[in-house]
Structure 1
Amino acid sequence: RRGLDTEVSELRQSISGWYELPLDPPMTDSIRLSTGYQREEIENVASERLTLGQQWRHQLDTGWMQILGLRWEGERYTIGEETQDTSSLLLPSVGYSKLHSNSPLDPSQGYRLQVDVTGAHRAALSDADILHVNFLARGLYTLADKHRFLARFNFGGVATNNFDDVPPSLRFFAGGDQTVRGYAYESLSPKNSDGDVVGGRYLIVGSAEYQYEFIKNWRLAAFIDEGNAVDDVFDPLATGVGVGIRWVSPVGPLRLDVAEGLNESFGGGWRVHFSMGPEL
């Protein structure tokens, strides 16, 4: 199998290609070769990134999906008006994920667990020593067919002996549809002395949501999100609350939310968010 993907938006443009070789069993196991280019400019952080790598996917007998990877990333980036740099990293990675649900398109209950670990070392063709960890958990439960409860928790961290050597693609930013609604996309982050967002060492995000199905395939939602990208796990978190509507379309759920960021010091305010894709 082979494919070509592209993304065009005001904030990010990318193009990538991949070639996949099925293994045994072919429905779950494979080797994928990929390459791609991405340009991103968010707030005061701009970067251009070229990647080349491979992944080996293998489903364990326990149901967990194991992904072993090795990729090279070359990145040229600017943070604020002062920091301009380039990085070249050889990044081995290992990831484990498990999805349990009673429907692939619109489940009524289930959970997803995922952990990814990526590293780089100066002794192995890299410009920095980095250990990058990201953990994600999602849960869904439905009561009496109409009352749905969703929860999400995301934690990430970067260990390094010099954070200035870590490129933006491996730093953490929060805010937007997938993290904390009520704040601009990736606007939550530590700032430098000039007030420029620079990315954090840690990501902490939690969310709780209630949905009520008032008509078949249509649901009302109320939610609260809390999180931030920080340099210390005890730093303050930003809170967002809101309401929304969900439509279970033939291609999956579509979500429209109106959210308010409750922390003005973090740039909170009223925002409209649109997203699509499975709940888990």
Structure 2
Amino acid sequence: MKTNLILILLVILSTAVSGQNLLKVRKVSFKGNRSITATKLKENLSISSATFLGEKLSDKEADRFTMPLYDESLKRIRYAYQKEGFLNVQFGEPEIKVTRNNKVKLTYYVTEGEPIKLSEISYTVDSVVTYEEFFKRNTQRKIRLQSELKVNRRFRDEWFYNDKTFINEEFNNMGYAYAQVKHKMVVDTLTNSAKLNWIINKGKVAYFGPIAVQGNERVPTKKIMKQLRFKSGDKWSKYEIDETQKQIYNLGMFRVASIKTLLSEEKPDTLPTLVTLKEAPRWVSRFGVGYGREDKFRIFGDLQYLGFITKTGRANLYAKHSALEPYNLQLRFTQPAVFFPFNSAVINPFLMNQHEPAYDIVRKGVNLTFLQHFSEQFNSSVNFYIEDVDSDSVIVKTPKSFDTNDELSTYSKSGISIGFVYFNGQPRLDPVTGYSLALNFKRNGTFVDESIPFYRSLLEYKKYLGIKPGVTLAFKGKMGAANMTESDRLVPVEERFYAGGSYSVRGWGRSQLGPKDASGQPVGGNSLLEGSVESRFLIGPKLVFAIFIDAGNVWRESYNYELNDLHYATGFSFRYKTPIGPVGIDIARPIFDEEKKWQLHFNIGNPF
């Protein structure tokens, strides 16, 4: 190995002397790394490698190989292992190969050794009080469950600092604004074990003092004070401050909402609190144009006015045109904090024309919606609606579902719709981890006598798995059911389920998968089942390549799911990451099916 290394150095020297290009690093690999992936180790390298194709696609040039660069990378890898608890990691002599075109392939040989594990975790408060004496049982349990460091588990720097912050915040939330968390750790390298003692100086209990609000001009101070989760004299809590900030932002009236308690070296037990605000502009407008495979040319405009009617109400006037919606006009009035700080009421009169492959209708009506924000992940909605539907199109003129008439061109709907959404995916616009669960239930035929009675429910689940950096596996499952309460016919045409299209089974055009009439027009159905699996690969700094398989179908009868009647499609995608999410193109075709036509879909955002 030493002879090989000396030879490489001579090659480098001779190359430099002859005036030719120095050796570039083509590939870096690792052997013996069981606990840390090669991808994570490469993130710590000071050596940057790249293939010829990679250099062309990403404009990323490979580093030139030098021994100082190699030594620096070795130090970084050793430090990366030490942060993961491997204090005795060893490295063998590297394997360095030079290709015919003067490229270097470098291999690191790693002997990880045994990691340091924690044999004991203890807590000392103010040097005299123990963990069990100070904390209540429920707090003990919370700390035990939420702490990342565990007895008989490998020590990691990241978990250590996370736990230190967590413990400090727990004391802050108990009123100890001046709490300090230190530690003492004894490491036994012979047994590869360690004892960790958290040493906490809790300080005195602090209380909220006078509360001042500044920066608000249009919004009355009393409206802001209603959003506060604390008042003067309450025990100080960082959690209450953070939640108050969210509740003030929920008003939708401010660009900046900063809440600070004034700490000083004298450490008083009463802390004045200052709420600093910067109001958003009263008038805000948005405008956009685009083109899509399904909606063709589209254009929209949205005009918002803050402080409408009430001091915290906001009004939006929205207009849109596309091939799928020749016109869509909506007026929306939103009143935040109606019953609770995270509750909003929305009144939404609308007029729209929907031109789908299966129908062409005009809808007009009004929605009254109550939105409840439970947490960053969990939201719910209750919507009361009344609307009239005019279906003059020849595409849909025989909705026999409604009554004994052969034709029904106009009808009224009224009812209630309830929805729940839980989403913890991160990052939100292009998740690589987490999942989403959405449920919507609709009951029509409540307020208007001539309204058509039916039920409709839709359940959708999405899951994201980050296999390794740059590789994500995404899953989607969707199930829908609808039924008329007074017959076994189809529900109204706009309430039926349809499959096929950019966000459905991508081997078919929009709404083209499922039941059709004699002329080949889709008629939709009362039952829907869909599923998708997609692998996403980051092949450039912002370029994503994906391959996928979709499956699904629609059936006319209610609660009828025939697994042997599912249709399948497969394809691939290229997407470019932008600040508003990925944009790209999906190309798919049916498989195991008589239909063989390729479908092209342009998307903003991931299909799921």
How far apart in 2 are the matches of 1:163 and 1:70? 25
Distance 1:2 1:187, change over 3 A: same
Shift of 1:79: 6.2
| 8 A Cα contact 2:412 2:450, kept in partner | yes
Partner of 1:275: 603
Pick from 252, 260, 265 the counterpart of residue 589 of structure 2: 260
Matched, 1:90 2:414: yes
How far apart in 2 are the matches of 1:186 and 1:2? 34
- Displaced runs of 4+ in structure 1, greater than 6 A? none
Greater alpha carbon shift after TM alignment, 64-73 vs 79-88: 79-88
Partner of 2:134: none
Matched, 1:226 2:568: no
Shift of 1:122: 6.6
Cα RMSD after superposing both structures: 2.4
Shift of 1:142: 1.0
Matched, 1:247 2:573: no
| 8 A Cα contact 1:262 1:269, kept in partner | no
Amino acid at match of 2:577: V
How far apart in 2 are the matches of 1:72 and 1:61? 30
Distance 1:239 1:276, change over 3 A: same
| 8 A Cα contact 1:44 1:79, kept in partner | no
1:78-109 alpha-carbon deviations (Å, 9 max, x no partner): 46475242220112111111110232233321
Pick from 508, 513, 520 the counterpart of residue 183 of structure 1: 508
1:48-67 alpha-carbon deviations (Å, 9 max, x no partner): 11131111011236953121
Partner of 1:139: 463
Q: Tell me the secondary structure at the aligned position of residue 424 of structure 2.
A: strand
Q: Tell me the secondary structure at the aligned position of residue 169 of structure 1.
A: helix
Partner of 1:159: 483
Pick from 312, 322, 326 the counterpart of residue 9 of structure 1: 322
| 8 A Cα contact 1:98 1:112, kept in partner | yes
How far apart in 1 are the matches of 2:448 and 2:379? 27
Greater alpha carbon shift after TM alignment, 154-163 vs 77-86: 77-86
Greater alpha carbon shift after TM alignment, 215-224 vs 100-109: 100-109
Partner of 2:534: 209
Distance 1:82 1:60, change over 3 A: closer
* Matched-pair identity in %: 22
| 8 A Cα contact 2:490 2:526, kept in partner | no
Partner of 1:128: 452
> How many residues matched?
278
| 8 A Cα contact 1:175 1:186, kept in partner | yes
Shift of 1:230: 1.1
Matched, 1:103 2:427: yes
| 8 A Cα contact 1:148 1:211, kept in partner | yes
- Structure 1: gaps spanning 5 or more residues: none
Shift of 1:186: 1.1
Pick from 367, 371, 380 the counterpart of residue 53 of structure 1: 367
Q: Tell me the secondary structure at the aligned position of residue 512 of structure 2.
A: coil
Partner of 2:473: 149
Shift of 1:148: 0.6
Amino acid at match of 1:67: S
Distance 1:43 1:212, change over 3 A: same
How far apart in 1 are the matches of 2:544 and 2:411? 46
Q: Which has the higher contact order (CA 8 A, sep 6+)?
A: 1
Distance 1:126 1:258, change over 3 A: same
| 8 A Cα contact 1:142 1:149, kept in partner | yes
Matched, 1:72 2:386: yes
Distance 1:212 1:278, change over 3 A: closer
Amino acid at match of 2:571: G
**TM-score, length of structure 2 as denominator length:** 0.43
Shift of 1:211: 0.8
The structure whose residues are more often strand, as a share, is 1
Distance 1:25 1:247, change over 3 A: farther
The structure whose residues are more often helix, as a share, is 2
**TM-score, length of structure 1 as denominator length:** 0.90
Distance 1:279 1:103, change over 3 A: farther
Q: Tell me the secondary structure at the aligned position of residue 101 of structure 1.
A: coil
Shift of 1:121: 2.6
1:206-255 alpha-carbon deviations (Å, 9 max, x no partner): 00000111112211100011111212311712211101111111221113
How far apart in 2 are the matches of 1:19 and 1:137? 31
Pick from 344, 357, 361 the counterpart of residue 30 of structure 1: 344
Shift of 1:194: 4.6
Matched, 1:237 2:237: no
Pick from 342, 355, 359 the counterpart of residue 41 of structure 1: 355
Greater alpha carbon shift after TM alignment, 157-166 vs 142-151: 157-166
How far apart in 2 are the matches of 1:37 and 1:163? 30
- Structure 2: gaps spanning 5 or more residues: 1-313, 399-406
How far apart in 1 are the matches of 2:374 and 2:347? 21
Shift of 1:278: 5.5
| 8 A Cα contact 1:127 1:165, kept in partner | no
Q: Whose Rg is larger?
A: 2
How far apart in 2 are the matches of 1:129 and 1:268? 39
Amino acid at match of 1:181: R
Q: Tell me the secondary structure at the aligned position of residue 494 of structure 2.
A: helix
| 8 A Cα contact 2:483 2:489, kept in partner | no
Q: Tell me the secondary structure at the aligned position of residue 53 of structure 1.
A: strand
| 8 A Cα contact 1:101 1:107, kept in partner | yes
| 8 A Cα contact 2:490 2:525, kept in partner | no
Shift of 1:273: 0.5
